[in-house]
Structure 1
Amino acid sequence: MEIAAVERPVVLVVTEPDPELPPPPLELIPAGVEVVEVGARPTDEQLAGAQVLYIWDHRFADLGPLLRRAPSVRWVHAASVGVNRLICPELAAVTLTNSRGVFDIPIAEWVLAAVLSHVKGLGDGWALQREHRWLYRSTGRLAGTRAAVVGTGSIGRTIGARLLGLDVDVTLVGRTARPDERFGAVRSSDELVSVAAEVDLLVLAAPLTPATTALVGAEVLGALGPRGFLVNVGRGQTVVESDLIDALRAGTIAGAALDVFEVEPLPVDSPLWSMPNVLVSPHISGDYAGFEVEMMAVFTANLARWLRGEPLHDVVDPTLGYVPG
């Protein structure tokens, strides 16, 4: 979407104190921009002159009502990759961008760490170490295994590329089947049961949309099988968690590494906490020291385009719920 150049825009930064998120490094926003830091309920006066909303608060979910009170806003930027909380009809007249790319490598590294820990039995090794037991055992080998990565965005592709680098046979799964230059082809998510039956590792890195909600349930887990390992770094609601718990208890699958859950924080009484074949991670696979600086850099680069009247990068299609392509 092309936009007219703006002389001195007013940027409202929506943020609330959050122990899970560093404060926004507003000092990195260049001079010549009026920056107003507001809470989740800005006043009409604050909204009246704003052209840009920067949603730093990842829990914020009231964009529709806010936009109805902000007639001058033409661009909303999310300090996140997932934007399911922000999708609303009011975006028909507003451009929404996200922080695509910031978390690609750290999330891929987390996936590799989780998969290698599973294949090499590091959890068993740590348990034996705590017992001061020296026990010989053989472990698995990652090279030569098969993986399916659900999600064809930059995160899914980075995960797939890292797995390819370790001699894993990788299949990408997306909304539709199509040729792919790097991975040969993308399989349709409609084929996920068949795909799961063909692989050893199933990695979920898809955004939350109506099409991906409850995508992985008992049928997919059954197809993955007793040697299969599930990794979820996308959204918790893409998995039917009760079906996953049943599959883990029954040995239907070998184990899981989970960074996202249906309810977060994960309830203290969830069986997942105490399962020896499960890694529970508190939605931190992409968070590394200093990530807020890179996240701000994505925004300021787009802000420079905005000031020049150029098209913005990483524009979300609200009908899809993610950045296409």
Structure 2
Amino acid sequence: MNWFLKKKKEHVLFTLPLPEPTDLLDRLREKFPDIDFEYIHFGTLETFRNPETIPRDTIAGKTVLVTAGALPASPADCPDLELIHFISAGINHVQKHPIYTNSDIPLATVSGIHGPPIAEWVLMTTLLRNREYEKFYEAQKEHRWLKYPVKGARDMVQQRIGILGYGSIGRQVANVSRAMGMEVLAYTASPKTTPESRKDHGFVVPGTGDPDGSIPSQWFSGTDKADLHNFLSQDLDILLISVPLTPQTHHLISKAEFEVLEKRRTFISNIARGPVIDQPALVEALTNGDIRGAALDVTDPEPLPADDPLWDAPNVTITPHVSAQNAQTLERVFQVIEANLERKQKGEKLINIVDRKRGY
């Protein structure tokens, strides 16, 4: 037996729906001279919703695939693949694909990179509602000096924000909320009863988030309605929805939940996925004034049809799934990939690996 067999050479294939980022790839090539990198401008932005198929001869011999959602047709088409790295934080768009359901190829995400821009979006849209800014915006367009104060204007100090899904995004929202003088309450599916369990073990943009889980004044957990309603009944001024979309979270917030939130007229902010909220129930809650308003970067469906009643619901801000986008996004995507390639070479545990049973 030859005890000096060389380790199989790594071949990394990028199939992304954007032009090749030469500077970022060159940085990887310089750091990992023993890895072969190949880049293909593949698919369109629709790949995030409707994944395309990577031909068998294209994926042949590749050990790592970096993708927006495009995948080989089946596990049999990619026998050498040892890691699939998605450039999104969520992968609900591929959860019915054979690669997801019928293989054990590790799947990684770039969870952790979106905290800073999304937290700024959450803060921005919440402040717009708190300060009733839309009234001043309309008055400015009409060259009209609006009388002040507006009765409903309020600041953030001592308001309570409940963060439903305390992942990397929720942690950065907690960070900026605390800086604004707010009290943070966290909700997770599984209990976080020890300091170790409250730590963030994924990718963290330096200087952001809540790495050790020390910000929330209270932690809640559970997977049934009673647990959720207990959390929602904690006099929340703002509810941030930041859970992944899974069969368990589909329509997690519906009519019964809005009835709980009605007592405080809680403001809703959804940066997760549209179907986490029962949208007709949301429109009804907004129309009836049961909640103070809503900021939605996600809807059901997307794009939101022009005749959908959500557009005309009162006190709602809608943006087209853009809260995570900024000039640093792609660079941070590559930082996570770089970190995992380094860990893979050293035989260390990879970060942001998807638990297929949980869906994230």
TM class, shorter-chain normalised?
Answer: 0.7 to 0.9
In 2, are the aligned partners of 1:12 and 1:35 still within 8 Å (CA)? yes
Aligned position for 2:252: 215
How many residues were matched structurally?
Answer: 311
What do the CA deviations read for 1:256-296 (whole angstroms, capped 9, x no partner)? 00001111111111222233411111111111113111111
1:152 aligns with 2:166: yes
CA–CA distance in structure 2, aligned partners of residues 35 and 161 of structure 1: 37
Give matches, 1:38-187, under 5 Å: 38=40, 39=42, 40-55=52-67, 57=68, 60=69, 63=71, 65-87=73-95, 88=97, 90-91=99-100, 92-131=103-142, 132-138=144-150, 139-179=153-193, 182=214, 183=216, 184-187=218-221
Q: Is the 8 A contact 1:149 1:156 kept in 2?
A: yes
- What residue number does 2:232 align with? 196
- Normalized against structure 2, the TM-score is what? 0.79
SS in 1 for 2:184: strand
Note closer, same or farther for the CA distance 1:189–1:252 as it changes in structure 2 (3 Å cut).
Answer: farther
Secondary structure at the aligned position of 2:94 is classed as: coil
> Residue 76 of structure 1: CA displacement?
0.6
2:356 pairs with 1:318 = yes
- Displacement after TM superposition at 1:189 (Å): 5.0
Contact 2:74 2:98 in 1 (8 A): no
Q: SS of 1:230's equivalent? A: strand
Show CA shifts across 1:50-84 (max 9, x none): 111111x2xx3x64734331111110101011112
Please give the secondary structure, in 1, of the residue aligned with 2:54. Answer: coil
Partner secondary structure for residue 29 of structure 1: helix
Distance in 2, matches of 1:37 and 1:268, equals 37
Please tell me whether residue 253 in structure 1 is matched to residue 287 in structure 2. Answer: no
Q: Secondary structure at the match of 1:245?
A: helix
Q: Looking at both structures, which has the greater relative contact order when contacts are Cα pairs under 8 Å and sequence separation is at least 6?
A: 1
Q: Percent identity at matched positions? A: 29
Distance 1:75 1:187 in 2: 32
The CA deviation at 1:244 is 0.6
CA distance in 2, matches of 1:68, 1:268: 42
Conserved? CA contact 2:84–2:106, under 8 Å: yes
Q: Which amino acid aligns with 2:353?
A: V
Map of 2:210 onto structure 1: none
Would the alpha carbon gap of residues 77 and 279 (structure 1) be closer, same or farther in structure 2, given more than 3 Å must change? same
- Contact 1:5–1:306, Cα closer than 8 Å, also in 2: no
State the SS of the aligned residue for 2:186.
strand
Superposition pairs of residues 15-30 of structure 1, within 5 angstroms: 15-16=16-17, 24=21, 25-30=24-29
Residue pair 2:53, 2:73 contacting (<8 A) in 1 also: no
C-alpha separation in 2, matches of 1:307 and 1:268: 49
Q: 1:235 aligns with which of 262, 270, 273?
A: 273
Return the letter of the residue paired with 1:155.
Answer: I
The answer (yes or no) to whether the contact 1:28–1:296 under 8 Å persists in 2 is no
TM-score (norm 1): 0.87
What pairs with 1:301-312 in structure 2 (closer than 5 Å)? 301-312=339-350
User: What amino acid sits opposite 1:193 in the alignment?
Assistant: H
Three-state SS of the structure 1 residue aligned to 2:116 is helix
Whole-Å separation in 1 of the counterparts to 2:7 and 2:325: 33
Superposed CA deviations along residues 176-227 of structure 1, whole A, max 9, x for unmatched, are: 3443552242333532223223211111011111211110001111221263
Structure 2 stretches lacking a partner, 5+ long? 43-51, 199-212
Q: Is 2:56–2:72's contact at 8 Å kept on the other side of the alignment?
A: no
In structure 2, the CA distance between the partners of 1:245 and 1:72, relative to structure 1 (3 Å rule), is: same
SS where residue 37 of structure 1 aligns? strand
What is the distance in 1 between the residues matched to 2:177 and 2:221?
17
CA RMSD of aligned residues (A): 2.3
Quick one: structure 1 residues 110 and 48, their matched pair in 2 at CA, closer, same or farther if it must change by over 3 Å? Answer: same
Matched letter for residue 76 of structure 1: I
Distance 1:136 1:206, change over 3 A: same
- CA deviation profile, 1:92-128 (whole Å, cap 9, x unmatched): 4211111121111111111111111111111122122
